[in-house]
Amino acid sequence: MKIKRRYFLLGAVAVAGAGVFGVKWADGDAQRRAMATTIGDGEAGFTPWLKIASDDVVTIYSPTIDFGQGSHTALAQMAAEELDADWTKVRVEQAPALPGFANAAIIQGFANEAGGLGDKIPKSLLSLVARSMPMQLTGGSSSIRYVGQILMRKTGAAARYVLLEEAAAQLNAPVSELTTADNIVTHAASGRSLRYGEIAAAAAERSLPNTPTLKEPAAYRLIGQPVARLDIPSKVDGSAQYGIDVSLPGMRVATIMMAPVREGRLESVDEQPALAVPGVEKVVQQDDAVIVVARGYWQALKGLRSLSPRFSDAGHAALNSPAIYEAQDQLREAGNATNSAGSGDVDVHFDAPDAQIVEAQYRVPFVHHAMMEPFAMTAHHQDGKLEIWVGMQDPLSVRKIAAEAAGLSPDDVTVHPLIMGGGFGRRFPQSCQIIAQSARLAMECPWPVKLIWSREEEVRHGAYRCQSSAHLKAAIGADGAIAAWRTDYVQRDNAEMECPFNYAVPATSRRHFTYTTNQDDGPLRSVNSTQMGFYNESFIDELAHAAGQDPYAFRRAHLADGSRHQRVLDELARRSGWQSTPAPGVGRGMALVESFGTIVGQVVEASVDEGGQPHVHKVTAVVDCGSVVNPLNAEAQIQGGIIMSLSIALGEEITLENGAVVQSNFGDYPILKLADTPPLIDVHFLQSDAAMGGLGEPGVPPAAPALANAIFAATGKRIRTLPIRDQARALEA
């Protein structure tokens, strides 16, 4: 995800029109309104993100959503660390979908990453931009490295500062003589102490420092510790509420059938067969869909299946997956790139008489997010107000989109953010048709209505990772080193930002050719780094083989001496036993990819059975993400990314035929089963002084190329097209 310049221009215009004072006042007013919704009797709010009750309970409000990644626990660790809180009295709540809880920290973080601007922009202006967008986003591996570092640590430190000031006043002692620990301020010289709960109300009236002093790592008590996740108990006992769990008095349940060919329109439908099904109460026609509302899901589904709606194909009936690849090849061969980057003159090296030229073409298909919980959203329109219950990756954007669809003001829309049963990029509101569908449906119904997408509908109308292809060409010089490297890739988005090219090559060229279809391409976990990592790390393995060199030694020779990348690679070779001889029939492959500020190296050990099917026996991963907040969470994120990547590489593929998606469920869109996952995934973290990187996504990109390279080591056959499943016979041969 990129923060675009227009959002900062929006803020600048607001400053020019309202003045700096006006911006600061508006920010303070938004915060006061936000706090008024969460502060109860006996509680003191220091910012919208932190409150302390008279019984010493500390509550953290997170602007980011939990969908299984454990970020709420890590964010609480970071705030509690700086607050010197008693961990047993720390709670985490999801921040309400209100403008005062807009996520300015993520804008500041991405602005810093894009050019170091974030820290130079006034916080009140960043908040204004976040409210105006609106922005309450979870994505881009940003929760810990941006929200945690920029917001939660500073919030905790600022609250501790004013607690110390208040304690000093009440104890009549200098702040320098006071210490804090476990929700208690202590004056050792007199033996007196005060609980946070005793002084919170008075402390909250004091002015918070803008730049509080943060702890040095040597002083950490909570950061870096493998504390148990706070969200697990409710998920185990079933009390955690997902979108599909919502139940309201008088609620009806609906399900939907959309045009099979995306951008198609509903032309006609006879509603009577559905209305004849017992329990069905209403049939609603929308521009590109028909919805059946009933007293329960099964009645709604039965009613929907009784219908025979006619949809247009919007002129896309001839579209199919092979034709997309063919069109992409033609676009690339025409040579009119949309974007380009690189340095040096690659053609000079390609034309050198002693150059060894290596070329390869790679392809990856549309890939679905395959989240376990299908879309489910409940909406109720009553007395001019719209109330919504849903799990999405940006609740404030849900509020805005639903208001526009319903023809209401955002102030008349209340969104209750819920946890999500997976997301991986699929639940960005801008790609979620169900928001507008539910809002419009609620305007036509007198009851609360929960709209559920069936698994089939969810698979056939995803926001897929784009179908992409690339032609890579390199020149190897007489010294055995890469002299020039060109990547020509075709897809919708420019991938330059997400996947840095980190090898030292005298001349490089990366050219992007924009290609779009009628499909709704969307970000999938690690965004463009999935395909670019596959292209780059598969190709450098081919170059090592062409140069007659070991893949590890070849990579190492093209990395800066003493760099983070080289350190990760060296540790990876050591941990994986790269120099040892693998078991008979087993090949080892490696890959090294940087994404979201984190460097991940992986070695996959794999074999291919007599039927040509690959089997992964072990994955070793080494990670440099700067510093780790919760080792348990961090390890789980890398392991989960590896399993997801292997699943995508081995068998996941969305194909089009006659303009429509062929796949419909896990029967024809197979995800990796537990029995097929690697018996051992060995993850190691390197501590470094680098800025904190993300962890939710960087585990994904290296696994697919490492597997492909392992298959080559085991069979001598190159994998250049994913998924591997359909290439089984070729591997056997």
Quote the DSSP letter at residue 104: H
Which residue, 421, 422, 427, 386, is CA-closest to 404? 386
For the segment 557-602, what is each residue's pLDDT rounded down to a tens digit? 999 999 999 999 999 999 999 999 999 999 999 999 999 999 999 9
Mean pLDDT of 194-216: 97
Cα 392 to chain centroid distance, Å, stands at 12
Evaluate if residue 733 carries a pLDDT over 60. Answer: no
Q: How many whole angstroms separate alpha carbon 263 and alpha carbon 125?
A: 39
Evaluate if residue 547 carries a pLDDT over 90. Answer: yes
SS (H, E, C) 267-313: EECCCHHHHCCCCEEEEEEECCEEEEEECCHHHHHHHHHCCCCEECC
Q: Are 468 and 321 in contact (CB under 8 A)?
A: no
For the segment 367-387, what is each residue's pLDDT rounded down to a tens digit? 999 999 999 999 999 999 999
Give the gyration radius of the chain's Cα atoms. 27
User: How many Cα atoms sit within 13 Å of 543 on the Cβ side?
Assistant: 31
Element at 375 (helix H, strand E): none
Q: How many whole angstroms separate alpha carbon 388 and alpha carbon 309?
A: 28
Tell me if residue 8 falls in helix, strand or coil: helix
DSSP 547-579: TT--HHHHHHHTS-TT-HHHHHHHHHHHHHTTT
Q: How many whole angstroms separate alpha carbon 225 and alpha carbon 631?
A: 7
For the chain, list the domains and their CATH numbers.
5-227 (3.30.365.10), 245-314+375-452 (3.30.365.10), 337-366+464-732 (3.30.365.10)
Which residue, 435, 579, 450, is CA-closest to 97? 435
User: pLDDT class for 193, splitting at 50, 70, 90?
Assistant: very high
Quote the DSSP letter at residue 425: T
Q: Are 445 and 293 in contact (CB under 8 A)?
A: yes
Quote the DSSP letter at residue 143: I
> For position 21, what pLDDT does the model report?
61
User: pLDDT class for 729, splitting at 50, 70, 90?
Assistant: low
> For position 732, what pLDDT does the model report?
56
Quote the DSSP letter at residue 366: B
Q: Phi first, then psi: what are they for 86, rounded to 5°?
A: -80, 110
Q: Are 340 and 510 in contact (CB under 8 A)?
A: yes
Residues 6+ apart with CB under 8 A from 246: 376, 378, 389, 418, 450
Which residue, 73, 139, 80, is CA-closest to 106? 139
In percent, how much of the chain has pLDDT > 70?
96
Q: Which two tokens stand for residue 570?
A: 């060296």
Evaluate if residue 392 carries a pLDDT over 70. Answer: yes
For the segment 442-498, what is each residue's pLDDT rounded down to a tens digit? 999 999 999 999 999 999 999 999 999 999 999 999 999 999 999 999 999 988 666
Q: How many whole angstroms separate alpha carbon 136 and alpha carbon 399?
A: 11
> For position 6, what pLDDT does the model report?
39
Q: Are 230 and 76 in contact (CB under 8 A)?
A: yes
Question: How do strand 266-268 and strand 43-47 relate by DSSP bridges?
Answer: unpaired
Q: How many whole angstroms separate alpha carbon 447 and alpha carbon 187?
A: 59
Q: In what order do the strands lie in the sheet with 90-94?
A: 43-47, 50-53, 58-62, 90-94
Evaluate if residue 155 carries a pLDDT over 50. Answer: yes
> For position 156, what pLDDT does the model report?
98
Residue predicted with more confidence, 653 or 25: 653
Alpha helices in 487-550 (DSSP H): 529-546
Least confident span in 109-123, 272-286, 523-537, 691-705 = 109-123
Residues 6+ apart with CB under 8 A from 610: 732
For the segment 626-642, what is each residue's pLDDT rounded down to a tens digit? 999 999 999 999 999 99
Which residue, 248, 285, 280, 254, is CA-closest to 269? 285
Evaluate if residue 8 carries a pLDDT over 50. Answer: no
Provide the mean pLDDT of the chain.
94
Which residue, 457, 519, 464, is CA-closest to 665? 457
> For position 500, what pLDDT does the model report?
85
> For position 5, what pLDDT does the model report?
41
Query: How many CB atoms lie under 10 A from the CB of residue 706?
Result: 36
Q: Are 556 and 503 in contact (CB under 8 A)?
A: no
> For position 10, what pLDDT does the model report?
42
DSSP 441-487: HHHT-SS-EEEE--HHHHHHT--PBPPEEEEEEEEE-TTSSEEEEEE
Evaluate if residue 114 carries a pLDDT over 60. Answer: yes
SS (H, E, C) 58-84: EEEEECCCCCCCCHHHHHHHHHHHHHC
> For position 19, what pLDDT does the model report?
60
Q: Are 226 and 632 in contact (CB under 8 A)?
A: yes
For the segment 45-89, what is each residue's pLDDT rounded down to a tens digit? 999 999 999 999 999 999 999 888 899 999 999 999 999 999 999
In percent, how much of the chain has pLDDT > 90?
90
For the segment 291-347, what is each residue's pLDDT rounded down to a tens digit? 999 999 999 999 999 999 999 999 999 999 999 999 999 999 999 999 999 999 999
For the segment 666-714, what is each residue's pLDDT rounded down to a tens digit? 999 999 999 999 999 999 999 999 999 999 999 999 999 999 999 999 9
Q: How many whole angstroms separate alpha carbon 382 and alpha carbon 85?
A: 43
Q: Tokens 């993100």 — which residue?
A: 49
> For position 24, what pLDDT does the model report?
80
Which residue, 307, 7, 295, 236, is CA-closest to 131? 7
Which residue, 729, 706, 726, is CA-closest to 587? 706
Which residue, 130, 67, 65, is CA-closest to 93? 65
